[in-house]
Amino acid sequence: MSTALLEARDLSIQFGGVKAVQNVSFQIDPGIVYAVIGPNGAGKTTLFNLITGIYQPTAGSILLDGQPIQGKAPEVLAQLGLARTFQNLQVCLNMSAIENVMLGAHLRLDRNLFKAALRWPALKAQDRALVGEAIELMRFVGLEPYTSARADSMSYGALKRLEIARALAMRPRVLFLDEPAAGLNPKETLEVDALIRKVADTGVTVVLVEHDMKMVMNLSDRILVLDYGRKLAEGTATEVRRNPDVIAAYLGAHA
């Protein structure tokens, strides 16, 4: 019996004739920072979408605590403690920043609509506590100045952190970060790097897809390298850096 929290076995997905992910297997232990890297088109985001329920695999399985979760919808995975952020941002710009964070707590709340309509006192108390919690989370991710702001007034970098706050509001077991540093300047990237460290230190397992090599090498406990949809290597940062196949994939065969 493996002790892995999250495991993939021979995971594959095919879009028509394109084999975007082929026979990928990996194991992620609880509490680590696990990075998925690879050249453009290697299938990293597709793999992500497979694990987080956006796509259904054509073959293989994904196991959470030994239980199969492949093909389950995102809403169900949320109940199992999986949270994710999006490379292209999926923020509710029609709501305020803090409401976006509060949204993350959705599953933990009493959502009865009759009680809501009648302004049940217990519900009101729940909301008040939630606001406090959301403010704390926004502080945690460094968005304190925005606690009264509307989401549509925030910058790209701030919105990326807002998504992380929302994901954390779910009190997840695993946090999936889809290219957290994409589109950020060097200063912002360092801040995100530190934030991910902070999150991992709270015990949440972090899985990220990322292009920024420096960040990945610094942060990750283990790395999975993909190329053309296949697993090229898996190991610690040092192991992966020295792997000749990985070097060839990134820099060409005669580097």
- Per rule CB under 8 A, is residue 112 in the interface with another protein? yes
- Residue 235, classified by CB atoms within 10 Å of its CB into exposed (0-12), middle (13-18) or buried (19+), is middle
Phi and psi at 154, nearest 5°, equal -100, 155
Distance of CA 240 to the CA centre of its chain: 22
- Site size with another protein, rule: CB under 8 A: 41
- Per rule CB under 8 A, is residue 56 in the interface with another protein? no
- Per rule CB under 8 A, is residue 202 in the interface with another protein? no
- Per rule CB under 8 A, is residue 194 in the interface with another protein? no
| Smaller CB separation from another protein, 165 or 233 | 165
| Smaller CB separation from another protein, 171 or 241 | 171
List the interface residues with another protein, window 147-176 (CB under 8 A): 166, 169-170
* Nearest distance, CB of residue 249 and another protein, angstroms: 26
Among 18, 56, 68, 110, binds another protein (CB under 8 A): 110
Residues 159-187 as b/e (b if ≥16 CB within 10 A, e otherwise) read: bbbbbbbbbbbbebbbbbbbbbbbebeee
| Smaller CB separation from another protein, 92 or 247 | 92
| Smaller CB separation from another protein, 73 or 194 | 73
- Per rule CB under 8 A, is residue 125 in the interface with another protein? no
Question: CA of 179: how far to CAs of 48, 127, 155, 219, in Å?
Answer: 11, 32, 17, 14
- Per rule CB under 8 A, is residue 184 in the interface with another protein? no
- Per rule CB under 8 A, is residue 122 in the interface with another protein? no
- Per rule CB under 8 A, is residue 18 in the interface with another protein? no
- Per rule CB under 8 A, is residue 86 in the interface with another protein? yes
* Nearest distance, CB of residue 151 and another protein, angstroms: 8
- Of 25-33, 76-84, 204-212, 237-245, which segment contacts another protein by CB under 8 A? 76-84
Q: Do 250 and 39 touch, CB atoms closer than 8 A?
A: yes
- Per rule CB under 8 A, is residue 91 in the interface with another protein? yes
Phi and psi at 161, nearest 5°, equal -75, -30
For another protein, the binding residues (CB under 8 A) are: 49, 52, 54, 73-75, 78-79, 83-84, 86, 90-95, 99-100, 102-107, 109-113, 116-119, 123, 126-127, 131, 166, 169-170
